[in-house]
Amino acid sequence: MNNNKNSIFNQIGGMPAVDAAVGIFYKKILADDRVNHFFKNVDMDEQSPKLKAFLAYAFGAPMAYTGKSMRQAHAHMRITDNHFQVVAMHLADTLKELQVPDELIQKVMYVAGSVKDQIVTQVRLAE
């Protein structure tokens, strides 16, 4: 990714902002019964650094990402569009809570949306 001061990573405040965002984000996710079952058997002390590394890379930090692809990491999870939307809402709310400007939140949500087809693996039929 790019290594300039105009990257989303630098604009949101670098690694301290990513660290804060992941902490708040996971609290929101774990409190939400619509999606917290995905983390039932997950060691969050191991999971948090993985998300931090991915977000930093995705937002343009001058670093390499060596983790699993989004498709590999989520293939077994049976994630629907509804699940994705809930998680995206929590991400946006987290950034608002951290007082990230709306313009940057839109950029972050664009990045998140760009991997949706790699994460959503299940079509939910109308009930």
In the chain the domains, ranked by start, together with CATH numbers, are: 8-119 (1.10.490.10)
Q: Give residue 33's pLDDT.
A: 97
String of b and e for 107-126 (b: at least 16 CB within 10 Å)? bbeeebeebeeebbeeeeee
- Average pLDDT over every residue of 24-51: 94
Give kind and range of the element (H or E) at residue 120. none
Model confidence at 39: pLDDT above 50: yes
- Average pLDDT over every residue of 78-104: 94
Which pTM was predicted?
Answer: 0.84
